[in-house]
Amino acid sequence: MKTNRHSLMAKGIMVLLSLLILIFIITFAWFTPPEERNDAHGVSMKTKAGSDFEYAIGFKTSQTFGEYLVTDFTNSEDSEWDIEDLHVPGKMKDDQITPVSYNLLYDYQPIDITGDGYTLIRPAMDYGNWKINTGSFDYSIAEANTQYISFDLILRSKAATTLSLGPNSYAIGASEVEGTTAKPDGSKLTGADVERKSDYGNFSRDAIVGAVRVAFLGFDDTLTAESYSTGTQDDKLNHTPSLLWVPRPDLYLNNNGNDLSTSGWSLNTGVTSGTTFNLQSQAMNDAAYSTYRHQYYNVFEMTNPNDTVEVATDNSDYVHVSAKDTEGNEYHLNDSVELISLDKPMTVQENNEDVTYYYGKVRVRIWVEGTDSESRRALSKGKFKFSFDLTTNG
């Protein structure tokens, strides 16, 4: 994984994620839960033996020379994947003996960006990257798998169905995991003895999880199952995400009105819906700042630039914010959100027999939102994990 020396984007002294390690554990209703939460980088997936559901990952990086590749479909109990160790059928080396291993994070240079899930940008910055240059309409489109993580999750089943992100989905700071126990409640993110303690106060850098966003985008309905299942790069994405998820609204990094000092900072945990903060920083002031909304810098709608960062609050139906559950007081999605339909039929040959599968594909984008209060240097080198609870119904 590469690192860079750009600061993060939107408020006062911004975050430099020189060592952001993304660790994902993906579980499905029909999948076997992970036996343990390890610290291997990337996405690992494991299915139940005999499942009718199969999945593959579509991706491209400079390591693939810009070629879009698709891994094998699998539902094998013994098959487990990591996005830093992906294998593609037909890609071999050493005289057809050793499969080529691909790393989705090969080009990854963590930096904060901003957007609505469909359009992700890096705005023009003032000197020193202190804040967005609101006097400029310049921006660059964020680069997939360089400035944010992007991959296609391709699924197929033997019956038409729908795929949803289920209520047990959550995001967690790495320090909130102890052995096989994960507790996304913020209790392990504060204190003098926390893991990866920040230089700015008694809190963990892993609170960067509060600034993370995830978007799931479907594809144009005119695409075929053949395009889903072969090495075809499709960028006919729906402009509206199926889901834009704010997974950790319970966290608020408070600079206590002083961006220019490394002291006096604190981390609020257990923030409840309806709570607002008086955010005061070098780049943005918001007397009613809420962690329970997604906001982003929308340069496309700005007509009167001024010295104050202008952000758009996205109140669309596709924006979902995690909430505290009633049992463990932990923050989960606590909802079931439909992502895509597996409804594209295609017949394939398996064991000399025709088998019809129904295909679906969704693009997953994961980024650090630069207008979030946790997007600060105080949380550089933070680590976090995801657990995606993906379910189907007929």
Among 76-85, 87-96, 332-341, 368-377, name the one with the lowest average pLDDT.
76-85
Query: Do the domain assignments include residue 114?
Result: yes
Amino acid at 386: F
Among 10-19, 149-158, 345-354, name the one with the lowest average pLDDT.
10-19
Q: What is residue 133's predicted lDDT score, i.e. its pLDDT?
A: 76
Query: Do the domain assignments include residue 232?
Result: yes
Query: Do the domain assignments include residue 145?
Result: yes
Query: Do the domain assignments include residue 15?
Result: no
The Cα–Cα gap between 390 and 383 comes to 23
In this prediction, residue 128 has a pLDDT band, given cuts at 50, 70 and 90, of low
Q: How far is CA 121 from CA 9, 70, 108, 292, 296, in A?
A: 11, 26, 16, 22, 10
Report how many domains make up the chain: 1
Quick one: average pLDDT of 281-297?
Answer: 86
Question: In this structure, what is the dihedral angle of CA atoms 139, 143, 146, 151, given to the nearest 10 degrees?
Answer: 150
Query: Do the domain assignments include residue 4?
Result: no
Q: Evaluate whether 270 touches 95 at the Cβ level (below 8 Å).
A: no
The Cα–Cα gap between 303 and 43 comes to 41
In this prediction, residue 344 has a pLDDT band, given cuts at 50, 70 and 90, of very high
Query: Do the domain assignments include residue 209?
Result: yes
Half-sphere exposure of 367 (CA within 13 A, CB side): 32
Burial 285-296 (b: 16+ CB within 10 A, else e): ebeebbbbebbb
Please determine, for residue 146, whether its predicted confidence score (pLDDT) is greater than 50.
Answer: yes
Q: What is residue 232's predicted lDDT score, i.e. its pLDDT?
A: 62
The Cα–Cα gap between 388 and 5 comes to 31
Model pTM score: 0.85
Query: Do the domain assignments include residue 338?
Result: yes
The Cα–Cα gap between 383 and 207 comes to 8
Q: Which domain holds residue 210?
A: 21-393
Backbone angles phi, psi at 282, to 5 degrees: -65, -25
Query: Do the domain assignments include residue 14?
Result: no
